[in-house]
Amino acid sequence: MLQESKRLSGRRVLVVEDEYFIAADIVRTFRADGAEIIGPAGTVEDALELVHSTPRIDGAILDINLHGEMVYPVADALAKRSVPFIFATGYDKAAVPERHAGIKHCEKPVTPEAIARALYG
Q: Could you read off the pLDDT tens digit of each residue along the chain, which spans 121 residues?
A: 555 457 799 999 999 999 999 999 999 999 999 999 999 999 999 999 999 999 999 999 999 999 999 999 999 999 999 999 999 999 989 999 999 999 999 999 999 999 999 998 8
What residues form DSSP beta bridges with 85?
60
* Span between the terminal Cα atoms of the chain, in Å: 15
pTM to 2 decimal places: 0.94
User: How far apart (Å, rounded) are the C-alpha atoms in residues 105 and 92?
Assistant: 9
Architecture field, domain 12-120: 3-Layer(aba) Sandwich (3.40)
